[in-house]
Structure 1
Amino acid sequence: MTPTYILLYVDKPEASGTFYAELFGRKAVESSPTFVLFVFENGLKFGLWSKHGVQPPASGAAGSAEVAITVDADALEATFHAWTAKGITIAQPVTELDFGRTFVALDPDGHRIRVFTPVG
């Protein structure tokens, strides 16, 4: 089995969709008041579902998991500066950790977006 879908429960899917469209540099393939979907070249689907209609109701809080994006060292620095310039909330500035160089941003709901360059 291979995971193919990431779902985040958000307060306002269309607003979150706008945030992620700018972040990812792509348009959603589906958008409604309760659900927004992005599809990537590698087949991964990234959905934003209204937390008000999720069945069964979700009990987890934003920030208890991360969306991780692997990039090279130059892209990490460029992404950090671009996102900072756009006013995206940064929870952790560029930092060296045991797995590599990284930073963490937050989406409008407080979900973590970790950008990192792995060691090796």
Structure 2
Amino acid sequence: MAPLNFILLAVRDPLKSGALYAKLLGHQPVDTAPTFVMFVLDNGLKLGLWLTDDMQPTPKPAGGYELSFSLPTRDSVLATYKEWTALGLKVAQQPTDMDFGFTFVLEDEDGHRLRPFVPAEQR
């Protein structure tokens, strides 16, 4: 099986979403155009933000995917919550303990969910 190395998110405005994700990821995009923005992360994973109206075949409405970010400590989850909510992201779940770890969920402007967490065994 081929490794998962590229994630595409359908977005309404790739340039606007690209500016937000640059802040969230701490990386600048490697490709920027009105219809597509791409990031390459340190681990090699590529994240593409593609204009919904430009995708073929036409995707379902923008939004609805969840990106998870594993963090090292509970304090780092809380710091990320403070930093990201200051960007105006919609809170879908306040910081809370769940069976898999300590987490919260925010949504970007397209409704994609962002879930930082620290695994339960690291709490």
User: Are 1:18 and 2:19 an aligned pair?
Assistant: yes
Residue aligning to 1:68:
68
Query: How far is 1:87 from its partner?
Result: 2.0
Pairing 1:40-119 to 2, within 5 Å after superposition: 40-59=41-60, 61-63=62-64, 65-72=65-72, 73-119=74-120
- Letter of the 2:114 partner, please give it: I
Shift of 1:82: 1.1
Task: Provide the TM-score with structure 1 as the length reference.
Answer: 0.93
Change (3 A) 1:61 1:18: closer
Shift of 1:85: 2.3
Q: CA RMSD in A?
A: 1.2
Return the alpha-carbon distance in structure 1 between the equivalents of residues 8 and 52 of structure 2: 11
The alignment of Structure 1 onto Structure 2 pairs a total of residues equal to: 119
2:55 match: secondary structure: coil
Query: Does 3-12 or 85-94 show the bigger shift?
Result: 85-94
Aligned residue identity for 1:58: P
Does the aligned pair in 1 maintain the 2:95–2:103 contact within 8 Å?
A: yes
Alpha-carbon distance between aligned partners in 1 of 2:95 and 2:63, rounded to the nearest angstrom:
21
TM-score of the superposed pair, with normalisation by structure 2? 0.91
- After the TM superposition, which of the residue ranges 97-106 and 79-88 deviates more from structure 2? 79-88
What is the CA distance between 1:89 and its match in structure 2? 1.6
What amino acid sits opposite 1:55 in the alignment? Q
SS of alignment partner, residue 68 of structure 2 = strand
